[in-house]
Amino acid sequence: MDNRPIGVFDSGVGGLTVAKEIFAQLPNEEITYFGDTFRAPYGSRDLSEITVFTMQICEFLESQNVKALVIACNSIVAASYDEIVKNFKMPVIGVIEPACQEAAKYSKSAVGLMATAATVNSGAYERLFEKVGGKQAFHSIPCPSLVPIIEDGKMGSEEALNEVRKYANELLTHNIDTLILGCTHYPFLRPEVETVTEGKVYIIDPAQGTTRTLAQTLAMLNMERKETSPPEHKFFISGDRTKFDFVYKTLFSTTPDIMIHKLGE
């Protein structure tokens, strides 16, 4: 038994898709969420810079007495996963390996990945896909315009549909049958992805597999929350809360209490 919260973090608001999945699959667990909204987006940053930011976030979450770390950001996993595991003595769950496992299981021909430039350029997905036994062809494309569209609240717009079409159509030329949404922001654009792909591909939202892995890890280590009182969640961001509030309300139809905590100053 371990009643401490789970630390969940992202470069901004995308990690809320993972938080939502944790609420659904593990409704008795508490989370402490950190979104680095002041320095977002991470996807175009150098991997070494992302690692510096990541260490600051993990140190802050450690100070909040979390029992596990969930990296709800593909760019951070790609840049910093090994460094986090080396420096923090608690379970660390990333979003990439569960997605690769699911893709290797479901694909019969080829897998496509839509992700940030940092994630694509790192080659992390290809390495982990091979590690989990994936033998299918693997095709990746950086999608730099999608995170700004989401953080500006333009989901459902013609602009969003056109940008998704541009990226997805390139992957479809490789005859993919499985598509990984390799950024935790991208599930906000799933309707656009489904419109463009016309039901021809199996779409993977890494939040689902990541949460299943988290649940299995907590159970195996006897770290599940056993309190019967309702869980109390905490949300921290490093910058303006306007976009965070908008995205949170899109997911949960409410607005949370949010604390501002600057890092690296």
- The residues carrying an active-site annotation are 73, 183
CA dist 185 and 12 (Å) reads 9
> Tokens 């939040």 map to which residue?
207
CA dist 205 and 183 (Å) reads 9
Give the number of residues written for the chain. Answer: 265
Give yes or no for a contact between 123 and 74, defined as CB atoms under 8 angstroms apart.
Answer: no
Burial class, 165, CB count within 10 angstroms (exposed 0-12 / middle 13-18 / buried 19+): middle
What is the spatial order of strands in the sheet that 92-94 belongs to? 92-94, 68-71, 6-10, 31-35, 234-237, 258-260
- Residue 144's identity, in one-letter code, is P
Burial class, 220, CB count within 10 angstroms (exposed 0-12 / middle 13-18 / buried 19+): exposed
Judged by DSSP in three states, 198 sits in: coil
